[in-house]
Structure 1
Amino acid sequence: MSDTQTLIENRPPTVAALFLERVAATPHAEAYRFPVPAAGGPGAPDDWKSLSWGQAAERVFAIAAGLIGLGLRAEDRVALASNTRVEWILADLGVMCAGAATTTVYPSTNAEESAYILADSASRVLIAEDAKQLAKARAHRADLPELAHVVVLDAADALAADGDPEGWVISLAELEKRGAEHLAKNPEAVKERIAAITADQLATLIYTSGTTGRPKGVRLPHDNWSYMAKATVATGLITKDDVQYLWLPLAHVFGKVLTSGQIEVGHVTAVDGRIDKIIENLPIVQPTYMAAVPRIFEKVYNGVAAKARAGGAAKYKIFQWAAGVAREYAKVTQDNFRRTGNATAPFGLTTKHKVADALVYSKLREAFGGKLRAAVSGSAALAPDIGYFFAGAGIHILEGYGLTESSAASFVNPGEAYRTGTVGKPLPGTEVRIADDGEVLLRGPGIMQGYHGLPEKTAEVLEADGWLHTGDIGELSPDGYLRITDRKKDLIKTSGGKYVAPAEVEGRFKGICPYVSSIVVHGADRNFCSALIALDGPAILGWAAENGLAGRTYAEVVAAPETVRLIETYVQTLNEGLQRWQTVKKFRLLPRDLDVEHGDLTPSLKLKRPVVEREFKHLIDEMYEGSREA
């Protein structure tokens, strides 16, 4: 048996047990860094504080004991509605150490859907970030008979209102105080709970944000996370010396899995979920690795391109040259590494790359903090041209793949041997096969127990022998690298009988056009493909200011003929590299960008294709007026 197999097969039964092992091994080592408002008031830079593993354990055990004091039993659900912050992690660990299970709720979820999740999960306690999250539960309290308590993270917002049952609202600080008092009388209370937890006991109930219909609760037991902790570390991608910058939403399975690997290896994690602080935080945190979704890397690329363009024609020409060199260098070195094991490039290309590095790439790496060894991208496909650009610039984006139903991480690219455009190889212990229709099937210790209370839905995707139907279409290389080509349900069949993978066309366009934010390719049962295109606000407004459209709003700029002609040139470039039936014959620019607030994107920034096509149906119909299917 290999060392990797031994590591995985001898995993502890629970994340709680894993946490105890970590605390015992390195009690004084730094575990978490987190920002606190500076004394200087608004606008002043944040101060950063730290918790050691021992200090974190004190708070986790106090939370766990406090929850036990509220009467929580094994597998009772505790909903957690908060942005990413250190208290989220401490609360989640506290829930699991109490033997209960965390129900994750995005803080952006509206009151009605939040109430649905709380009711469907039968959550007995809600841990709410602030007054806003508390108000959602209060508005639907009559529909939530199981909800016995709301614990508010921000103490100032833990205010009872008329009509609240006595003791219904308490602060996290009060919960911890009660827990500490309980532990003073019974020091072993939490450890006894941990010892009683079984591997198949529910640890997390994550509701899929869903591109259509009501969300489904995915049941993930303790063993899923214990496996993920061991398997992700077994890949060699993270070490005890790493510093992780964690800003992803922890309500999403991608964010959640990052906390398990950290407990196993014991490195430092800097936690701050404020998206608007990412650029400011990177030079402060100086992460060695971080995870993100493709939309973030696309926005960084568009921002760098816009900044170069604002510097004048000469500077923009240098950037375009450097971007081309980066892509060529990445393709050549990755190909050589695959064939020979050495990431080499011809002398002439290496020389150009050194010049481009001094002019462009080094500044880009500094913006990421200067120490970034690797970035992991997941949740959706990264456009290969964006990936090659960053790879050539020395920012190695390792694409991974998984679903909520597979505990997030089923595939990841293996360090130096990563291949842009693929999601890498399966984690140790995970099996994969491709069905006759091209669908990716997975089996292993990371697969869910099923959908909460939905046995028929579970049976639709989970076979009796453990194979999970992912709904994704993919291809496996002879040496085990997986490439996801599209969602099974998103494949387009034109009226001419040709199949088109919209994600492939959309990804290519994102690598070509530095102004695009989102693109939705349409064409099912039509005689040609069309596209709805949303532009990146800062990038297109910067272009507008330089091209006689200064002072106009976003909607006015995208409606201008000059802007349409600009984007048309990029569509023509796209079409030159496509098969005839894939080409985008017509397009329309959307009057606004797509976002979570309007329901166009899930909280993890995945495109809700049916929602977008429904909202902008008039534009789609307009493009097909006069065609045979119109």
Structure 2
Amino acid sequence: MARSVTDEVVDQSAIDNRAPSVGHMFRERVRTLPDGEAFRHKEGDAWASLTWSQTRDRAYALAAGLIELGVQQEERVALCCSTRLEWVLADLAVMCAGAATTTIYPTTLAEEVAYIVADSGSRVVIAEDADQLAKLQAHRSQLGDVTRVVLVDGDSDDDWVMTFAELEASGRERLQAEAGLVDERIDATTPEHLATIIYTSGTTGRPKGVRLPHSAWTYEGAAVDSIKILSKDDLQFLWLPLAHVFGKVLLTLPLQIGFPTAVDGRVDKIVEHVGEVKPTFMGAAPRIFEKAYGKITTMMDAEGGVKAKLFTWAAGVGKEVAEIRRGGSEPGGMLAVKYRLADKLVLSKIRDRFGGRVRFFISGSAALNQDVAAWFEAMGLLIIEGYGLTETSAASFVNRPSVGGYKFGSVGWPLPGTEVRIAEDGEILLRGPGVTAGYHQLPDVTAESLGEDGWFATGDIGEVDENGFLTITDRKKDLFKTSGGKYVAPSKIESMFKGVCPYASQLVIEGEGRHFVSALITLDPDAIATWAGQNGMAGDSYSQIVTSARTREMVQGYVDELNSQLSRHEQVKQFLILDHDLSVEEGDLTPSMKLKRKRVTEKYKDQLDAFYTGS
């Protein structure tokens, strides 16, 4: 069933009547749903909940505590903490105090933490634990305006430091004397006031602080609300880094719509927690879906025999049914009978791994492979891909989980109120309420990215089809030309490989100015361990497995399959399997699991150059 963005029914009143600030949005949610569940978090082995009014009480106390520390309107409070309830409460407190949050990933190196804190002009830093505190203490003289550090976990003898509990207690005492203090700050906050500074990942040079006003976040909440893909009856599981714009926008949506959110950022616990929480939707980076796809398919292959054949049969039936449903129909006849059996024996069990209630997943921050998306759809788990940047408050485009509202390989339709234009060179230009006010203390860079007419140059190459779906080709700066003058889009090839090879973790394409394309490959530790156990290498180390001749032969087969789908000038002629995976900790990936291409190719320059020596 063909649909266009022009066919979409939008509740324009949600956008027109949006709140003036995040604080206003939060206060209104508390008023309308005081006893409704707001946030769920882990206390030991159990999940505990806060209602909206309980969340307000804690956030107001923390806001008053920040005011007691002297934090003024639009002054910055830096948050250096993993995804957990305290991050949520602290950010809400900053919003209610009329201040602005500077977000910092807990994996950020000490020198960069010092730079971000100083460059943002943060007055207070909320640090998660002793490790984060040590980063600040090591560079105390470089932190500029910081007057106090608030420690979430643990205690310190340093007079410069107070605990999270002490901040909250201080605020409660202040509120006893001035009950209306926080509401006065909320009332004084306007849409134009600064709400957040998020620093880009800094793949080259120093990170840039993206300034996002309250109007950007209230627009995001209202625009998503207006297309009615979520309701107060949904339940979100939120694990993404809240220092990242994707995580931050997913924290804004419940304030607007009113659904509860379970919060826990421990990546190694995602599968366990999703099974416990049983969410109706979840946002994630493509790597999470790729890992799940690889683990399940390789595990089934390893089973062999009847189980493997049954799984393959059921997946095929699921794919047939998904294609029919995508067109707005339901399966009938023998296919309907086969589907009921396939669902009972296989497909429902895959859904149960994700809690059994997921209506859809949202994928963002990097390209999702179409084959992986189609596999999940066959299982009855729809992944809708979205698109946006830090500079556009995350969500600018998103597929809709309705018949005709999504297209695999695309990032969907624009949110109402967001305009798109494709420049002559193919670059995507965006304009709308979610676009940044500029880069912090970088007027020249701001002028380069934001034209006088408000169009933001995204740096991404893409095209819009006749139904309004946007497809991203690649990052403009990542496109390269071979010595033969042919352009290559590396991200497209890298995404294709992850759909072809279930053992793949990363593929990094190289070939700028070269006469053929080469690649670095890493393999997923869990998936390759399963394969190794079936191929006489059980008990071998990861390094031994991935550098073996048998693994090389296996990967070569998948590279050949990839090449069969590529033009001659795009084909991978040489590759190296690294003896370790790429990681956030080593600086190869951003905290949102996006490849730092330039850093990785520079790091392995000698190995890549060797492919071309004498050739």
The separation in 1 between residues aligned to 2:523 and 2:446, in whole angstroms, is 38
1:429 aligned to which of 417, 437, 460:
417
1:489 aligns with 2:477: yes
Q: 1:173 to 1:482 in 2, by over 3 A?
A: same
Contact 1:447 1:468 in 2 (8 A): yes
Shift of 1:331: 4.5
Query: Partners in 2 of 1:333 and 1:532 — Cα distance?
Result: 39
Who is 1:148 aligned against? 147
Q: Corresponding residue for 2:3?
A: none
Query: Where does residue 225 of structure 1 map in the other structure?
Result: 217
Retained in 2: the 8 A contact 1:298–1:386?
yes
Structure 1 CA distance for aligned equivalents of residues 24 and 54 of structure 2: 17
SS in 1 for 2:101: strand
TM-score (normalizing by structure 2): 0.96
Alpha-carbon displacement from aligned partner over 1:461-508 (angstroms, at most 9, x marks no partner): 111111011111111011211111111111121111111211111111
The reply to whether residue 261 of structure 1 matches residue 253 of structure 2 is yes
Q: How many residues align?
A: 605
> Distance between the aligned counterparts of 2:200 and 2:144, measured in 1?
23
Q: Which amino acid aligns with 1:596?
A: V
User: Residues 601-616 of structure 1 correspond to what in structure 2 (within 5 A)?
Assistant: 601-616=589-604
Tell me which of 9, 13, 18 is aligned to 2:20: 13
Q: For 2:565, give the aligned amino acid.
A: G
| Partner Cα distance (1:448, 1:436) in 2 | 23
Does residue 284 of structure 2 align to residue 296 of structure 1? no
2:6 aligns with none
Counterpart CA distance in 2 for 1:321 and 1:531 is: 34
Structure 1 residues not aligned, in runs of 5+: 38-45
Aligned equivalents of 2:250, 2:17: Cα separation in 1? 21
Give how far 1:226 is off.
0.7
1:158 aligns with 2:144: no
Is structure 2 residue 175 aligned with structure 1 residue 183?
yes
Aligned equivalent of 2:275: 283
Whole-Å Cα distance in 2 between the matches of residues 527 and 514 of structure 1?
Answer: 29
Q: Secondary structure at the residue paired with 1:150? A: strand
1:31 offset after TM fit, Å?
Answer: 0.5
Equivalent residue, structure 1, for 2:557 = 569
* TM-superposed deviation, 1:425: 0.4
Give CA-to-partner distance per residue, 1:76-112, whole Å, 9 cap, x none.
1000011101111111010111111000000011111
Note if 1:518 corresponds to 2:506. yes
The aligned residue for residue 27 of structure 1 is 34
1:192 aligns with 2:199: no
Q: Distance in 2 between matches of 1:525 and 1:354?
A: 54
**CA RMSD of superposed structures (Å):** 1.5
Q: Secondary structure at the match of 2:574?
A: strand
- CA deviations on 1:381-404 (whole Å, 9 max, x unpaired) are 100000000011110101000000
Q: Choose the corresponding residue for 2:392, options 391, 396, 406.
A: 406
Distance in 1 of aligned mates of 2:119 and 2:528: 43
Checking the alignment, whether the CA contact within 8 Å between 1:36 and 1:49 is kept in structure 2 is yes
- The one-letter code matched in structure 2 to 1:574 is L
Confirm or deny: 8 A CA contact 1:305 1:316 kept in the other structure.
Answer: no
Q: Distance in 2 between matches of 1:229 and 1:25?
A: 16
Contact 1:326 1:388 in 2 (8 A): no
Q: CA deviation at 1:356?
A: 3.5
State the AA in 2 paired with 1:300.
A
What is the letter of the counterpart of residue 49 of structure 2? S
Query: 3-state DSSP class of the match of 1:78?
Result: strand
How far apart are the structure 2 equivalents of 1:108 and 1:48? 26
Q: Residue 368 of structure 1 aligns with which residue?
A: 354
What do residues 128-187 of structure 1 show as CA deviations (whole Å, max 9, x unaligned)? 111111111111111123110001112xx22123xxxx4x21111111111111111111
Superposition deviation, residue 360 in structure 1: 2.6
Conservation of the 8 A alpha-carbon contact between 1:326 and 1:390: no
Match for 2:346: what amino acid? V
TM superposition shift of 1:264: 0.9
3-state SS of paired residue (1:236): coil
Match for residue 445 of structure 1?
433
In the aligned structure 1, how far is the partner of 2:145 from the partner of 2:305?
63
Counterparts of 1:527-542 in structure 2 under 5 Å? 527-542=515-530
In structure 2, how many angstroms separate the alpha carbons of the residues matched to 1:257 and 1:450?
A: 18
C-alpha offsets along residues 356-412 of structure 1, whole Å, 9 cap, x if unaligned? 433332111000000001110000010000000001111010100000000000011
> Contact 1:331/1:388 (CA < 8 Å) preserved in 2?
no
**What residue number does 1:578 align with?**
566
Deviation per CA, 1:569-628, whole angstroms, max 9, x where unpaired? 11111111222122111211111111101111001100011111112222212222332x
User: What whole-Å deviation, never above 9, does each CA across 1:116-138 have from its counterpart, x for those lacking one?
Assistant: 10010111100111111111111
Distance 1:321 1:599 in 2: 41
Superposition pairs of residues 453-468 of structure 1, within 5 angstroms: 453-468=441-456
SS at match of 1:124: strand
Other structure's SS at 2:477 match: helix
Task: Flag structure 2 segments of 5+ consecutive residues without an equivalent.
Answer: 1-8
CA distance in 2 between counterparts of 1:353 and 1:528 reads: 46
User: Does the 8 Å contact 2:220/2:249 carry over to 1?
Assistant: yes
CA contact (8 A) 1:330 1:389 kept: no
Q: Which residue of 1 aligns with 2:94?
A: 95
The answer (yes or no) to whether the contact 2:175–2:181 under 8 Å persists in 1 is yes
Q: Which residue of 1 aligns with 2:235?
A: 243
Does the 8 Å contact 2:10/2:226 carry over to 1? Answer: no
Deviations 1:4-55 (A, max 9, x none): 2222122121010011111111111110110011xxxxxxxx1111100000
Q: Percent identity?
A: 55
Distance in 1 between residues matched to 2:486 and 2:295, nearest whole Å: 36
CA separation in 1, counterparts of 2:51 and 2:76? 28
Other structure's SS at 1:308 match: helix
Distance apart, 1:415 and its partner CA:
1.5
- The amino acid of 1:5's aligned partner reads Q
Whole-angstrom CA distance in 2 between matches of 1:356 and 1:626: 55
The AA in structure 2 aligned to 1:414 is R
How far 1:287 sits from its partner (Å)?
0.2
1:191 Cα deviation after fit: 0.5
Measure the CA separation in 2 of the matches of 1:507 and 1:439: 20
Structure 1 residues 324 and 509: alpha-carbon distance in aligned structure 2, compared to 1, 3 A threshold: farther
- Return the alpha-carbon distance in structure 2 between the equivalents of residues 12 and 60 of structure 1: 18
More off after superposition, 134-143 vs 351-360 = 351-360
Cα 1:354–1:422 change in 2 (3 A) is farther
Cα drift, residue 241 of structure 1: 0.4
Moved more, 306-315 or 236-245: 306-315
AA matched with 1:397: I
Which residue is 2:489 aligned to?
501
Paired amino acid for 2:102:
T
